Amino acid sequence: MCGISGLVNCGDRETLARMTNVQTHRGPDDSGLWERRFPDGGYIGLGSRRLAILDLSPDGHMPMSNEDGTVWITYNGEIYNFADLRRELEGKGHRFRSHTDTEAVVHLYEEYGVDCLNRLNGMFAIAICDLRGASPKLFLARDHFGIKPLYYCERGGKLAFASEIKALLEVPGIEASMNLEALDKYLTFLWVPDPLTMFEGIRKLPAGHYALWQRGEFKIEQYWDLTFPPAEHRFERTEADLADEIRERFCASVERQMVSDVPIGAFLSAGLDSSSIVAAMARKQPVRTYTITFPEKYRVGETTIDDPGVPQRLARKLGCEHHEIVVEPDVVGLLPSLTWHMDEPTADPAIITAYLVCREARKQATVLLSGVGGDEIFAGYRKHVAHGWAEEYQRVPGFARSAAERVLLGLPSLRGTRMKGSVRLAKKMARSAALSPAEAFIRNCTYLDAQQKTDLYAPKSPQAANGNPDGQHLAAFDKVRHADFLNQMLYLDTKIFMATLNLTYNDKMSMASSVEVRVPFLDRQLAEFVAWNVRPEWKLKGKWRPVTKHIFREAMRSMLPEEVMRQPKAGFAAPVDYWLAHDLRPMVDDLLSESQVRKRGLFRPEVVRRYVDEHRRGAEDWSMQIWQLLTLEIWMQLFLDGGARSFAQRQIGAQQLTTA
């Protein structure tokens, strides 16, 4: 796992060194630079920060080349089938100097060019400089699901790229300014979907895509996509047969991802996904497991695992070395630090718990396995259930629906109870009841609608005049319009929600602690098998009280105790209400004060104040909206007001002290 960076026809070695240095947290074990100037005045440079996972010797130094130095690579990720690829390549005459997966990638590209991507099983962001032709060529690629990030800025034949945006801001001529279209999407969804970023001129290479630069031209192509059968497709396999094969395929994916020369562990919430990973790992070797929990005062009304005894008992049953992490974090101090690590404002409080568990786990393990992807592959979210409810609801007579919607919209927020999330979803469903299924699903994923944003924007705000935040989502639905609607929802979640939120914060928060997180559910072959062989009604079974991830539950039933099967979905829930009412209250009053909001000129101070006041009175649940406005202001202070550079120096200094 590493932080990569590179330049084409801009900057110099000093620039490349700064780009590499600002990503020290992604690779504290080693750093390297490679550059080449060409007779026509062209320049290409590659940089790397290394977190050593395979072959801990100096032989794993990057950037790395083939035998004759005509192909150079800087690379972030892990390729789980690299040993098989190495044997094949050695049979073709390629010579290896190390035992890293990086060297397998460079020789695979040397042999097959861009088609090498079809042979890789793993997660990766790759940059390869190919000097073999008449003119140099740069090849960039991002893995199938977008597990690893890759940002770039391309202007007039000049190109800069990196694992993190903050590295691009070290390049002369790349300035931090806000992308107004991205701002509109952020207010809609709490985060900015790929390929946009909150920075004008900086974009993210989409998952499953590669890019080629040559002779000043930059082209992006898609090389893979997750596909689904048509809605009328006849599924031939029996449920029992499928459950057995899914279990074996899943366990094989977990075992492949356990390859490591450093200590390895796993998250364990005692939910289905993390428990299944730990059970599969325990078949091969003893496992270190990590559970994060908050003291009781934090957990009132939050969807968390309330009984830490469940993961304790499971870990004991499986013979794990279990670590329970009980935290009372300094959230006021953490928010600026984690916003800097995220690069962009991301208003999901789960980033805090993701960071905390990685920070504590780093004391014993460098690699952690995570359950990200299970909900997208097997249908595990409440919003998937909501669609089935909506279908049944449409059968209710119109006058009764109107009455029900008035009641739902008039409900109190029920903050401080376990019903808070259900009430929030019910209100969203009431507002979206008259929409098409696709539009309703998108609406249920939003936090500020068009009218609310219009009310929020200041009269002279430089807001995006032609904003269409739903366009990307509707295009994704259209791409799989032939499929069953549940599979359409899963496609949208896989391509947008998972790739641009869950995987992004898992990468950034783990790398902030110099930890590599692997995601066995996102084995490409496993995901493709499930998509084409599992009936939609075996993913989400039932209507009014549906069973989420039904087929996967059946697959893992022989390996997990019934106690785990009954656990509610939890994940990385965070005590937002408690923090806003206590720890963050002074920060909210300061950063979202009338004077500060007016100074920014983006929003109406009275609307921001109304959100805060109504939330504190319990009249409405504006917790996520307040969180996103607070996160946005912290991001603007760091990146637009110039605070990021001094912040970076403190972070780099702290990292160097830690690794000294």
Q: DSSP letter at 493?
A: I
Reported as a single tens digit per residue, the pLDDT across 301-316 is 555 545 678 889 999 9
Helix (H) or strand (E) holding 291: strand 288-293
Reported as a single tens digit per residue, the pLDDT across 567-618 is 776 656 788 888 999 999 999 999 999 999 999 999 999 999 999 999 999 8
Q: Phi and psi of 104, rounded to 5°? A: -65, -35
Reported as a single tens digit per residue, the pLDDT across 453-500 is 999 999 877 665 456 889 999 999 999 999 999 999 999 999 999 999
Whole-number Å distance between alpha carbons of 550 and 541: 6
CATH 1.10.10.60 fits 2-222, yes or no: no
For the ranges 338-347, 479-488, 510-519, 636-645, the lowest mean pLDDT is seen at: 636-645
pTM exceeds cut of 0.85: yes
The distance of Cα 184 from the centroid of its chain, to the nearest Å, equals: 20
pLDDT score, position 296: 77
pLDDT score, position 305: 46
Q: Please, what is the angle between helix 623-635 and helix 605-617, to 10°?
A: 140
Percent above pLDDT 90 for the chain: 76
Q: How far apart are the first and last CA of the chain?
A: 20
The distance of Cα 612 from the centroid of its chain, to the nearest Å, equals: 29
The domain spans of the chain are: 2-222, 239-379+490-533, 575-660
pLDDT score, position 462: 67
Reported as a single tens digit per residue, the pLDDT across 536-563 is 999 999 887 899 999 999 999 999 999 9
The b/e string for 62-76 (b: 16+ C-beta within 10 A; e otherwise) is bbbbbeeeebbbbbb
The residues near 180 (Cβ < 8 Å, ≥ 6 apart) are: 462, 463, 464, 467
Reported as a single tens digit per residue, the pLDDT across 40-81 is 999 999 999 999 998 889 999 999 999 999 999 999 999 999
Task: Write down the mean pLDDT value for the chain.
Answer: 91
Whole-number Å distance between alpha carbons of 115 and 98: 23
Reported as a single tens digit per residue, the pLDDT across 156-190 is 889 999 999 999 999 999 999 999 999 999 999 99
Read off the pLDDT of each residue in 321-334 and give the average, rounded to a whole number.
92
DSSP secondary structure letters along 109-165:
HHHHGGGGGGG--EEEEEEEEE-SSSS-EEEEEE-SS--S--EEEEETTEEEEESSH
pLDDT score, position 1: 63
Whether residue 63 has a cis bond before it, omega within 30° of 0? yes
Going by C-alpha positions, the residue among 246, 274, 277 that lies closest to residue 535 is 246
Please report which confidence band the pLDDT of residue 209 belongs to, taking 50, 70 and 90 as the band edges. Answer: very high
**Does the pLDDT of residue 219 top 50, yes or no?**
yes
pLDDT score, position 402: 73
- AA identity, residue 401: R
Going by C-alpha positions, the residue among 121, 33, 630, 631 that lies closest to residue 344 is 631
pLDDT score, position 144: 98
| 2-222 and 239-379+490-533 agree in CATH topology | no
Q: DSSP letter at 215?
A: T
Reported as a single tens digit per residue, the pLDDT across 615-631 is 999 888 899 999 999 99
Reported as a single tens digit per residue, the pLDDT across 357-369 is 999 999 999 999 9
* Fold of the CATH domain 239-379+490-533: Rossmann fold (3.40.50)
